[in-house]
Amino acid sequence: MQTITWDTPFVRQVLASIQTHKPFIYGLTNYVAATLSANVLLAVGAGPAIGPALDWPEHFASGARGVWINAAALMSADIDALERAARAADQAGTPWVLDPVAFGAGAPVYDAAVRGLLVHSPTVIRGNASELIAFSGGDATGKGVETTAQTSEALGAIASLSRQAGAIVAVSGATDYVASGDEIFAIPGGDARLTKVTGAGCALGALIAAALGAHGDPLEATLAAHALYAEAAARASGQARGSASFATAFVDQLSLLEPELNAR
Amino acid sequence: MQTITWDTPFVRQVLASIQTHKPFIYGLTNYVAATLSANVLLAVGAGPAIGPALDWPEHFASGARGVWINAAALMSADIDALERAARAADQAGTPWVLDPVAFGAGAPVYDAAVRGLLVHSPTVIRGNASELIAFSGGDATGKGVETTAQTSEALGAIASLSRQAGAIVAVSGATDYVASGDEIFAIPGGDARLTKVTGAGCALGALIAAALGAHGDPLEATLAAHALYAEAAARASGQARGSASFATAFVDQLSLLEPELNAR
Amino acid sequence: MQTITWDTPFVRQVLASIQTHKPFIYGLTNYVAATLSANVLLAVGAGPAIGPALDWPEHFASGARGVWINAAALMSADIDALERAARAADQAGTPWVLDPVAFGAGAPVYDAAVRGLLVHSPTVIRGNASELIAFSGGDATGKGVETTAQTSEALGAIASLSRQAGAIVAVSGATDYVASGDEIFAIPGGDARLTKVTGAGCALGALIAAALGAHGDPLEATLAAHALYAEAAARASGQARGSASFATAFVDQLSLLEPELNAR
């Protein structure tokens, strides 16, 4: 299994490409996670728009360079808005990320609606271990949006889901793993305090969408987004007391990452 | 009147119980307050889910260990979602917290809808002085969500409301008071900058729900949540410049509280 | 062109008036920006309420001392709620601020709905350069909510829009400009990191509404709000690492501004 870090050359290329092209990224997410997601995108130089206003799902999903749909957007939007955004992205060839947050946590109508989005061919599916195990057909083990499984327990699930859905599948946790068909990559690092910051997973989905919108190779883009997240978390670690100052330091470090070699 | 602080033994027991059991807590609140509430729950180890998506109100309110309903959820949900969540919690025996935010501030249709939730027997009702004076039948004196009364002026109102509603009633401000029938307890401390952090009251409701979900005695749970809040605010005081860094330091300190004696 | 700064005498008078009168300010905005807007209002001593709950638009818009409507509120409210709030503010003589965020960014149904709000005579229209150039009838050049034009390129557009709409028009960017008919004022300063904080523009609209609600002269109120923003940003500059700690330091400094001479 190959390991990807900040020192893997294409990671900095992807960051440079985001900073240069400033891709416009459209997202549907829930209000709990929206502000952090927007700030993560702004930190790396992308331009975010979030929300299902009027005719935005179609217009913005087809006009954006990348789209992410966090299924918890269903808190303040109906499934129709998500369907329209996913369909518009798919038809326009805009890469899009599906985050089936809280899948398998006990709401079957919700789960069915989220699964229905797969017909619009997401480029990447990302989530935590519990969500992706459930989404791939395994037993639901989550409590709301918190996982009760380790990412290493989800390796079979993400590979299986990648083959089923024809998508890149990424699971985040202490170590992140990304599956593309039968290939699996590991991205180590991060900081456990990231699990105490609401929306941190959703914002990773937004960053993946930005990377997809700025870099031609979807697998490299997905891996790079995870490696950028891990690097910013590692740099933030020594600058924080508890969970809230960690969140601040983490976004700070994302905004300060420089793609040039020796810039550290 | 008994005073409760971090040094009251059951306070640390409640914190230990939250950290051990990591209760899943479901909330309906407004988007202004949602992110802070989620981060407060994550800071103490609880697992939050927030929002009225599809069939979540019933499923999550009956499956959660605690529920809080901030009436300002009516900003992005209709009253039906709140009714369904309150009814489901009541029928499942899940303890739930009602926060009648902005009650009496000038919107009679809103006030009537909020009052209607009382039939579902909230375990705890919490708010600021203006809101609870109005909710207990007194004159409305608030401006939006800001109070214009001192908590000590609300002692009669919270005792009366506690008897009327058969609920624990808690008022927060410079000194917090909690009424259970004719008994009233004081929780001193906190920091005035907390009144400059939007959603701080709502997030206290979330923390009460987490305490209710982890500890068998609802009165002790309610008192402990207030004492944890006051302790974190006191520890944050010296670490902050203005209102925003205070919010960061406050959540940090919640995430760093250790229930063990001598852990300070 | 006159330049307005923290040292212009009426700026401190406006701040003193906000801190003394603590005006109740009602806003309709999107959930991405709502929390920062509320915290900015609380930082200067105003009392915020945000959201379209039930009959709040009419009651709160007519009862508030100032109202701001960020058109991206359409993410979680329908146009009818915005219409009702704008009409109620206009009929009650409550000053109100229109922020046509993302106008001209590619969603014509949205643009038409936003333009329709002009019949309710906003006191102030504020936005970034791309939005205001498009709103005044020029070419749309924005990508979502990010501008692609300099504020100095918008001077003709804001003067024209001011005359057309009979409103004060303010454009924010590296240097802010405010037009009242043919007069244009400059407010220099700020910090580029403010453009990496989501909702910073929307929260400026909220602060303008607070200034309008506390000070009798709408032009001075609008100029003062911009100068307070620039001063807080300048004071925050040395206290921050990246974009997130800048946001924290900025709100801190707003909460610490003292109107007394020599208080710095």
Q: Convert the pLDDT of each residue in B113-167 to its tens digit.
A: 999 999 999 999 999 999 999 999 876 555 556 667 889 999 999 999 999 999 9
Q: In this structure, are residues C167 and C123 in contact, taking their beta carbons and an 8 Å threshold?
A: yes
Residue with tokens 């700026």: C11
Which residues, other chains included, contact B208 with Cβ-Cβ below 8 Å and sequence gap of 6+?
Answer: B66, B68, B97, B124, B126, B170, B221, B222, B225, B226
Asked if C102's CB is within 8 angstroms of A43's CB, the reply is no
Asked if C43's CB is within 8 angstroms of B244's CB, the reply is yes
Asked if C31's CB is within 8 angstroms of A31's CB, the reply is yes
Whether residue B26 lies within 8 A of chain A, CB to CB, comes out as yes
> pLDDT at position C124, please?
98
Q: What is the CA radius of gyration of chain C?
A: 17
Whether residue A248 lies within 8 A of chain B, CB to CB, comes out as yes
Chain A, chain C: beta-carbon pairs less than 8 Å apart: 116
Mean pLDDT value across residues A25-37? 93
Fold of the domain spanning A2-254: UDP-N-acetylmuramoyl-L-alanine:D-glutamate ligase (3.40.1190)
> Which one of C107, C193, C195 has the shortest CB-CB distance to A56?
C107
> pLDDT at position A78, please?
81
Nearest chain A residue to B44, by CA: A196
Mean pLDDT value across residues B60-81? 88
Q: Which of B70, B241, B246, B250 should be substituted to probe chain C, the one whose Cβ sees the most C Cβ atoms within 10 Å?
A: B241
Chain A residues lying within 8 Å of C244, measured CB to CB: 39, 43, 247-252, 255
Six-digit token string for A169: 């599948």
Asked if B247's CB is within 8 angstroms of A107's CB, the reply is no
- Residue-averaged pLDDT of chain B: 92
Query: Which neighbouring-strand residues pair with C27?
Result: C50, C68
Mean pLDDT value across residues B84-108? 93
> Which one of A72, A75, A144 has the shortest CB-CB distance to B47?
A144
Mean pLDDT value across residues C201-228? 98
Cα A208 from Cα A201, distance rounded (Å): 11
Asked if B197's CB is within 8 angstroms of C22's CB, the reply is no
Cα B18 from Cα B111, distance rounded (Å): 33
Whether residue B42 lies within 8 A of chain C, CB to CB, comes out as no
Asked if B60's CB is within 8 angstroms of A144's CB, the reply is yes
Mean pLDDT value across residues B68-87? 88
- Residue A172 is labelled as binding a ligand: yes
Q: Which of C29, C30, C67, C251 should be substituted to probe chain B, the one whose Cβ sees the most B Cβ atoms within 10 Å?
A: C251
Q: What would the pLDDT profile of A94-144 be if each residue is shown by its tens digit?
A: 999 999 998 987 778 889 999 999 999 999 999 999 999 999 986 655 555
Of the pLDDT bands very low, low, confident and very high (cuts 50, 70, 90), residue B56 is confident
Candidate from A43-47, B74-78, C44-48, C255-259 with smallest mean pLDDT: B74-78
> pLDDT at position B191, please?
84
Chain A residues lying within 8 Å of C197, measured CB to CB: 39, 42
- Residue C142 is labelled as binding a ligand: no
Strands (DSSP E) contained in A129-224 are 168-171, 176-180, 183-187
Chain A, chain B: beta-carbon pairs less than 8 Å apart: 116
Asked if A107's CB is within 8 angstroms of B55's CB, the reply is yes
Binding site as annotated, residues of B for substrate: 199
Asked if B24's CB is within 8 angstroms of A146's CB, the reply is yes
> pLDDT at position C264, please?
46
Chain C residues lying within 8 Å of A26, measured CB to CB: 144
Which residues, other chains included, contact B59 with Cβ-Cβ below 8 Å and sequence gap of 6+?
Answer: A106, A107, A108, B88
Candidate from A84-88, B77-81, C7-11 with smallest mean pLDDT: B77-81
CB atoms within 10 A of CB C77: 24
Whether residue B248 lies within 8 A of chain C, CB to CB, comes out as yes
Fold of the domain spanning B2-253: UDP-N-acetylmuramoyl-L-alanine:D-glutamate ligase (3.40.1190)
Sign of CA dihedral B67, B68, B73, B74: positive
Higher-pLDDT residue of C187 and A144 is C187
> pLDDT at position B192, please?
86
Sign of CA dihedral B249, B255, B261, B264: negative
Binding site as annotated, residues of B for ATP: 126, 172
Q: What would the pLDDT profile of B242-257 be if each residue is shown by its tens digit?
A: 999 999 999 999 999 9
Which chains neighbour A (Cβ–Cβ under 8 Å, 3 or more pairs)?
B, C
Give C2-256's CATH code, choosing from 3.40.50.150, 3.40.1190.20, 3.40.50.300, 1.20.140.10.
Answer: 3.40.1190.20
What percent of chain C has pLDDT above 70?
93
> pLDDT at position C261, please?
66
Mean pLDDT value across residues C140-150? 63
Six-digit token string for C244: 């997130």
Mean pLDDT value across residues B213-240? 97
Of the pLDDT bands very low, low, confident and very high (cuts 50, 70, 90), residue C184 is very high
Higher-pLDDT residue of B88 and B106 is B88
3-class DSSP assignment, residue A49: strand
Chain C residues lying within 8 Å of B196, measured CB to CB: 39, 42-43, 255
Is the confidence at residue C218, as pLDDT, over 80? Answer: yes
Q: What would the pLDDT profile of A211-259 be if each residue is shown by its tens digit?
A: 999 999 999 999 999 999 999 999 999 999 999 999 999 999 999 999 9
What percent of chain B has pLDDT above 70?
93
Angle among Cα B56, B58, B64 to the nearest 5 degrees reads 80
Q: What would the pLDDT profile of B161-205 be if each residue is shown by its tens digit?
A: 999 999 999 999 999 999 999 899 999 987 889 999 999 999 999
Chain C residues lying within 8 Å of A81, measured CB to CB: none
- Please state the φ and ψ torsions of residue C170, each to the nearest 5 degrees: -125, 130
Asked if C247's CB is within 8 angstroms of B244's CB, the reply is yes
Asked if A79's CB is within 8 angstroms of B76's CB, the reply is no
Listed by number, the residues of chain A in 150-189 with a beta carbon closer than 8 Å to a beta carbon of chain B are none
Is the confidence at residue C19, as pLDDT, over 90? Answer: yes
Which residues, other chains included, contact A114 with Cβ-Cβ below 8 Å and sequence gap of 6+?
Answer: A71, A74, A100, A103, A135
Is the confidence at residue C9, as pLDDT, over 50? Answer: yes
Shortest alpha-carbon distance between residue B116 and chain A (Å):
23
> Which one of A34, A76, A144 has the shortest CB-CB distance to B48?
A144
Is the confidence at residue B264, as pLDDT, over 50? Answer: no
> pLDDT at position B46, please?
97
Shortest alpha-carbon distance between residue C56 and chain B (Å):
6
Cα B96 from Cα C57, distance rounded (Å): 29
Q: What would the pLDDT profile of C58-94 be if each residue is shown by its tens digit?
A: 888 888 999 999 998 887 778 888 999 999 999 999 9
Higher-pLDDT residue of C100 and A51 is C100
Chain C residues lying within 8 Å of A51, measured CB to CB: 30-32, 72, 74-76
Asked if C63's CB is within 8 angstroms of B106's CB, the reply is yes
Candidate from B90-99, C20-29, C92-101, C141-150 with smallest mean pLDDT: C141-150
> pLDDT at position C109, please?
85
Is the confidence at residue C263, as pLDDT, over 90? Answer: no
Cα A73 from Cα A97, distance rounded (Å): 13
> pLDDT at position C46, please?
97
Six-digit token string for B164: 């009327």
- Residue-averaged pLDDT of chain C: 92
Is the confidence at residue C148, as pLDDT, over 80? Answer: no
pTM of the model: 0.94
Is the confidence at residue C202, as pLDDT, over 70? Answer: yes
Chain B residues lying within 8 Å of C51, measured CB to CB: 30-32, 72, 74-76
> pLDDT at position A264, please?
46
Mean pLDDT value across residues C23-31? 92
Whether residue A92 lies within 8 A of chain C, CB to CB, comes out as no
Higher-pLDDT residue of B144 and C95 is C95
- Per the rule left: phi > 0, alpha: psi between -120 and 50, beta: everything else, C106 is left
Six-digit token string for C144: 């979502």
Asked if A47's CB is within 8 angstroms of C30's CB, the reply is no
Which residues, other chains included, contact C81 with Cβ-Cβ below 8 Å and sequence gap of 6+?
Answer: C28, C52, C57, C73
> Which one of A106, A241, A248 has the shortest CB-CB distance to B63?
A106
ipTM score of the complex? 0.92
Is the confidence at residue A262, as pLDDT, over 70? Answer: no
Is the confidence at residue A56, as pLDDT, over 80? Answer: no
Whether residue B146 lies within 8 A of chain C, CB to CB, comes out as yes
